[in-house]
Structure 1
Amino acid sequence: MENWGLITIRQRDGLYKDGLFPIIQKHNLQEIIAHEVSHQWFGNLVTMKWWSDLWLNEGFATLISLKGVDFLENTTWRYDDRAESQCFALRSDQTNGMIPISGGEYSNPGRYTELTSHMNHIIYKKSSIIIRMIERIIEEDTFKKGLRRFLNSFLYKNADHEDLFNVLVYVHDSSAGGHLSGQNFSLSDVMDTWIRQPHFPLVHVNRKEGSIVTIRQEKYEHVPYLARANEQVWKIPIFYDDPVSAKHKVFWLTDKQPQVFDMAGQYVVDPHQLTYMRIRYDIEMYSDITMALLHDYRVIPTNSRSRLIDDTFSMAEHGQMSYKVAFNVTMYMSKETEYRPLQTFSAYMDYFLPRMYGLEFWSEYQEYLSLIIGKLFDQFNAQGLDADMDIQNDLFSTRDIVVLRACIIDYEPCIQMANERFQEVRRNCSGKSQLLSGSDCNKIPYYLRPYVYSAAVKHGTEADFDFLFEKWNMEHYMMERDSIFNGLCSTRFREKSDL
């Protein structure tokens, strides 16, 4: 919590020690502290006038915290990689009745303080993505000048979104550059369409000839048969890379009329996922994208690979496209080495596993997952699951999610690995006073422990459960207790679940 002069953090979020905690815990801790420190400016130094503008606190704190930690570690991956946040935000924003980022004068302020994941995804994640999009439109230097002026103008005061808009428009109009030159609308007009109305656009892309396509927009309807007539329109910046300067340029899509656009040899629109939207290609383009991924998946940027998986599976849920398109897009993934596409794919595994389990084609689905996840697991297992990857954040996260998923689908080499490691722990940590959080007897890397405990208990004996339950009762490190509890919940012995 960002109390001025007394920042507080939950115990489980505020601890990190090399060798005892996985590197992801360090990254989470850095981002939490940076978020709360950012609130000293956005929230404390300048405070929103009313709860319907809570995004002025949380959206900016979310974005500035990523910039801060990236600066600390001399990297840009946190700020550049917003694929996961966009997936969460879109998922919440596509539900009926969702609120806009900023409420109007007569909006219900209670909606903006609801402690639900859907609301948090709008107030924290969607708003930070839109703020980043605005920064890209007016360019970084102008954006910094605007924020400085905003903070200095409302020092120890209250402000609302109109105050922010007015400052950014003033600074932008007084500066050279940006991506609004020659347009018949202002920055304020652009921001209005993204901040004041809920939901988001679906951009249709249809090939005309070669790299020339037509693009048009409409409101995305996740459940088409519940859709009503809707006149929502966004001023959509379509970012693309100039082949000469390699800088971002913008093509504007401002109404519902189809526009002709040159993709300049790219397989996808908005290749770096800088705009908050879903994209639907025609079937011929999906075929070309699928073949390109199978031939060399790196020709499509990482964030766009994540978006392709998210958009196709989301649109297939209620029959807007065939699941064949979505599953075809994923057939390259046994070669995938980046975390974000795998994380998105993993999220849809959570959707499918309970729906597929026990059906006549469950074995076929399991074989499909083994082809993708199993091959990746075998590669990491051959390298050694204890290999130190702490300075390779993306590779560490990729290995983490691959091991998790391999054990969940009962991939035999993963189950064998988990059982062997667990039995070693049982032998080495059998003493009444030995804690599993200690590294003296428990040599399993910390990131691996929840997966080993779960697989070992799921496929093990009652004695395996009893051993772990005893250690859970003894343990005083919260993160180790959580890992053990995660394993205990995987038992197949129903009578044990009542303990």
Structure 2
Amino acid sequence: MPHLCTGKSCDSIALKSPLWLSFQSDLSMAKGFFVSKTLAVVGLVLSLAAVATIVALSVVYSQEKNQNRPEGGGSTSHPPTTQHPSTTQHPSTTQGPPGQLWDRYRLPTSLVPRSYNILLWPRLQPDSSGMYVFTGNTTVEFQCVEETNVILIHSNRLNYTLLENGQRAQLTSITMGVQAPTISSSLIQEQTQYLVLFLEAPLRKDAWYQLHMSFKGELADDLGGFYRSEYIEDGVKKVVATTQMQPTDARKAFPCFDEPAMKAYFNVSLIHENGTVALSNGKEIETTTYGMEESKSYMKTVFEPTEKMSTYLLAFIVSDFSFINSTIDNVLIRIFARQSAIAANQGDYALNKTGPILKFFEKYYNSSYPLPKSDQIALPDFNAGAMENWGLITYRETALLYDEKFSSNSNKQKIATIIAHELAHMWFGNLVTLRWWNDLWLNEGFASYVEYLGANEAEPEWGVNDLIVLSDVHRVFAVDALTSSHPLSSNEEDIQKPAQISELFDAISYSKGASVLRMLSDFLTEKVFTMGLETYLDEFKYGNANYTDLWKHLQQAVDTSGTSLPNSITNIMNTWVLQMGFPVVTINTTDGTVSQQHFLLDPEAEVTTVSPFNYKWIVPMRWMKNEVVQEPKWLLEKSENIIEMMTSSEWVLVNLNVVGYYRVNYDQGNWDRLLSTLATNHGNIPVINRAQLIDDAFNLARAKIISTVLALRTTQYLDKERAYMPWESAVNNMDFFYLMFDRTEVYGPMQLYLRKKVEPLFNHYKNITSNWSSVPEGHLDQYNQVTAISLACRTGLSECQNLVKTWFMEWKNTGINNIHPNLRSTVYCNAIAAGDAAEWDFAWKQFKNATIAIEADKLRYALSCTRQPWLLNRYLEYTLDPTMVRKQDGTSTIVYIANNVIGQSLAWDFVRARWSYIFTQYGGGSFSFSNLINGVTERFSTEFELQQLKQFKADNAEVGFGSGTLAVDQSIERTSANIKWIAENKESVVDWFSSAA
């Protein structure tokens, strides 16, 4: 789904700044829309429900508005996982009293849909009350597999046209000799999001029926379900009707059985204004004249039936966009975007790369792409990075459109990797779909792994495969080292409510999933891994599966190939999937022992989650001795003698190329030999492992396993380092020091030390670019040039600061921007930080006038860099005004401001004061609450801040935190660890920097 923004795929977020960012998705009218509490109650009165039920549901609605969160805002963290059913478990229709059925969040098993006929008509102009609406009707054909006298179908904020008998739906039988029972009454259950239809007699087992409904809904700007996106082109306001269904918002567009296992065929038709184009998952069959309404002429476009698929993969779009196209092996590829963007050739790069990536995955899966077309569309308003709707992939503009005048090389990589991520889903996720959301990690983790393979196929000279270590492995280590983490796979019964489902779209599912699957592919070999994938996809195509089904097919591939493993795939992988966290593997070269323990950032934190394996993992070990790669080993127990003792001149390096999902520690003698090698000939250690040594050391120090001084020593060789990955690893880890110490006496000596380390790198790029007049040739060298300038300016190197101010002022004074796209984010940020209101206002004007989304993103980020508190407060207010900052950008903008040392307390006060408003108004999809909460609390390191955070949790228990519930607990745990770390390390850190500088 929603492709999560991480690492270099985050546009300007990835371009480091002096203020440093860590990172960053009823046509049956009961008269009125579910847009207010009052109207909701009116709708319930008309539904003829009992008064008591009306009151109860009204209260529930006000609590659950915009997002169906846990009652009372309670924790939805994931309990220990001890067993995982191989099939989806639904509540039986025979369980308990009848009133309990619609109070459950899971559909009963009584009805199974086969097909839908859907007609939708979005209005792209507001009605007389100023509201944008859509109307529609749908007929769903289903089989009764279990006798029942009640029909439950998902429905959220839809109003239904009442029939002559006062009911919201019409039921007919299509089985010969079977009479459809009469619908006696109906109600809307808002909490569990159902239309409930009561029948005078039960449906007959094995009989087929059709259910027809007409409805009307609001085409709101909430970025979920069927919604509207607005933009200005050539001075004219334009509206797009578009969709985002995953995970549980198809029910906002039409009534449906909205669970991933309820696959069906969809026959879609759209009514739209003449002059607009309609798109859906299927290929267009015909477009005909439909009629007139309010002097406007309308067309009707009918689409081919879809393949059998899940509701969350549906898409319907009406716009006046243009497109470009090509054909590869009879598959039509089209890129849609705003007319001006297509005219400026901004879709060309995506079009050129989609075909090769699509062919790569056909070869990788050994399975032909199953659809006749692959449409991709760039939307002005879109909460996630992209969404893998089958045959009609939706993107943010920054994730699909490329313009060499404005786009950096990181923007280009983001486009390639996100296209690869979404195309990977066409098979893994769409063709074969998870049975229930507790296995989300398998979908998203897999796509997050193979996106690097697909992007590498598109751009083989970039070397992007290695970047998964920085962007995913190291990133998710920070979350998975907390006691408030959770296993990859959860118990199905623990993931019921929409908010609990949304909470799974986190770094664990995406980045840990990717890291663990990469490790699996490595120890199996890609040949065996893809052999298992091929048979898995073939057996479950157009159906549903879970992760144990994949293990079965991979085991068959292992057995067929004769691959030697120390245990079964299931037993090996369950240690990584069914328990949270990861191990630190300790190598003792004096006696050859290797041991493992659960790695915790705060070793004193209490682990309350019970592990089915007692926090022991089956660990694959790739390693080298001196410069020679050794035969792989397996660590099966807590401690084993599995390597030979080393001499005083030999060093050992474990987790070669960081293919294993674990950290590594050594005895002091081996650490000393590794540090000596870095100092004298760092090229003897592979570049990925140079990044690993730095990252492992700093995090081992935070966990009190080694000293902080030892971790700092890993940076001493950096004045000789020119490779991107070690520098990025060092800068990422020093960011923690900035967060903890940029308000203390440590700051000065730290700045001086880092300035001395980065100055040679800064001068290196100055020289090879002929005094900044050209761009380095290599992809990663271009990244490292940005790192050099960002860190040099951040640490106060005057030559750097003067350089960026000069570039910015030339643009401001002449109106001509000659700053290279690679450097714009860091130049803008540093210049605004050094300037005053004049620089900020200039950048704001450029942001508001920007017609290129990528350029607007760079400016939006840079505006957060000012050191003027009043400007930052003004900017914070803009984040809740969609005419100033788009809803899709609200969260990241607040987090940008919070990462500014001056803006952090302002952002925290802002979020606390407006939490109820933010949650209520933006909970439907505009805000990512986990990123927001983590972002505004990341710098917390005092007892006062910890108490504020706990009070924030208590004060907003009734409002709730939705998908950010777990993030609140993680922030509390992280703050507690920070307090302890500073108390224990501040003195030694300031002494070390002072002497080293």
Same fold (TM over 0.5): yes
Query: What's 1:434 paired with?
Result: none
More displaced, 107-116 or 446-455? 107-116
Does 2:833 align with 1:453? Answer: no
Shift of 1:68: 1.8
CA distance in 2, matches of 1:65, 1:461: 42
In the TM superposition, 1:19-58 aligns within 5 A as 19-58=405-444
Q: Deviations over 1:47-89 (max 9, x none)?
A: 0111111122112222222212212333583334431111011
Query: What's 2:699 paired with?
Result: 314
Q: Deviations over 1:151-203 (max 9, x none)?
A: 00111110011111111111211212x341xx3x2222111111221111111
Runs of 5+ consecutive residues of structure 2 not aligned to the other structure = 1-386, 876-997
Does 2:473 align with 1:94? Answer: no
Specify which of 152, 159, 180 is matched with residue 538 of structure 2.
152
In the TM superposition, 1:308-347 aligns within 5 A as 308-347=693-732
Query: What's 2:680 paired with?
Result: 295
Q: Contact 1:12–1:478 at 8 Å: present in 2 too? A: yes
Q: Deviations over 1:318-339 (max 9, x none)?
A: 4332110000011111222222
In the TM superposition, 1:108-127 aligns within 5 A as 108=495, 113-115=501-503, 120-127=506-513
Does 2:867 align with 1:481? Answer: no
Structure whose residues are more often strand by fraction: 2
Does 2:812 align with 1:426? Answer: yes
Query: What's 1:205 paired with?
Result: 587
**Aligned residue pair count:** 477
Q: Deviations over 1:345-379 (max 9, x none)?
A: 11122211132224333221111110112221122
Structure whose residues are more often helix by fraction: 1
**Looking at both structures, which has the greater relative contact order when contacts are Cα pairs under 8 Å and sequence separation is at least 6?**
2
CA distance in 1, matches of 2:841, 2:522: 55
CA distance in 2, matches of 1:69, 1:417: 34
Q: Contact 2:425–2:447 at 8 Å: present in 1 too? A: yes
Does 2:643 align with 1:261? Answer: yes
**Counterpart residue identity of residue 252, structure 1:** W
Query: What's 2:556 paired with?
Result: 170
Q: Contact 2:398–2:411 at 8 Å: present in 1 too? A: no
For the aligned residues, what is the CA RMSD?
A: 2.5
Runs of 5+ consecutive residues of structure 1 not aligned to the other structure = 430-440
Q: Contact 2:624–2:654 at 8 Å: present in 1 too? A: no
Q: TM-score, normalised by structure 2?
A: 0.46
Q: Contact 1:221–1:227 at 8 Å: present in 2 too? A: no
Shift of 1:281: 1.1
Query: What's 1:432 paired with?
Result: none
Does 2:595 align with 1:216? Answer: yes
Q: Contact 2:755–2:797 at 8 Å: present in 1 too? A: yes
**Counterpart residue identity of residue 480, structure 1:** E
Does 2:659 align with 1:284? Answer: no
Specify which of 395, 398, 415 is matched with residue 801 of structure 2.
415
Q: Contact 1:104–1:196 at 8 Å: present in 2 too? A: no
Shift of 1:103: 2.2
Percent sequence identity over aligned pairs: 28
Q: Contact 1:54–1:112 at 8 Å: present in 2 too? A: no
More displaced, 128-137 or 354-363? 354-363
Shift of 1:427: 2.5
Query: What's 1:239 paired with?
Result: 622
More displaced, 289-298 or 69-78? 69-78
CA distance in 2, matches of 1:381, 1:402: 10
CA distance in 2, matches of 1:238, 1:179: 14
Query: What's 2:774 paired with?
Result: 387
CA distance in 2, matches of 1:224, 1:395: 38
Q: Contact 2:431–2:543 at 8 Å: present in 1 too? A: yes
Shift of 1:489: 2.5
- From the CA coordinates, give the structure whose radius of gyration is larger: 2
Q: Deviations over 1:296-327 (max 9, x none)?
A: 11111122111211121112224332110000
Does 2:742 align with 1:357? Answer: yes
CA distance in 1, matches of 2:404, 2:462: 23
Classify the secondary structure of the residue corresponding to 2:621. Answer: strand
Q: Structure 1 residues 461, 232: CA separation in 2 closer, same or farther (over 3 Å shift)? A: closer
Q: Contact 1:306–1:344 at 8 Å: present in 2 too? A: yes
Classify the secondary structure of the residue corresponding to 1:82. Answer: helix
In the TM superposition, 1:460-475 aligns within 5 A as 460-475=835-850
Query: What's 2:221 paired with?
Result: none
CA distance in 2, matches of 1:243, 1:368: 30
Query: What's 2:460 paired with?
Result: 74
CA distance in 2, matches of 1:461, 1:320: 45
CA distance in 2, matches of 1:491, 1:163: 52
Query: What's 2:904 paired with?
Result: none
**Counterpart residue identity of residue 474, structure 2:** C
Shift of 1:144: 1.4
Q: Structure 1 residues 105, 286: CA separation in 2 closer, same or farther (over 3 Å shift)? A: same
Q: Contact 1:51–1:112 at 8 Å: present in 2 too? A: no
More displaced, 349-358 or 329-338? 349-358
Classify the secondary structure of the residue corresponding to 1:326. Answer: helix
CA distance in 1, matches of 2:671, 2:757: 20
CA distance in 1, matches of 2:754, 2:437: 45
Q: Contact 1:263–1:269 at 8 Å: present in 2 too? A: no
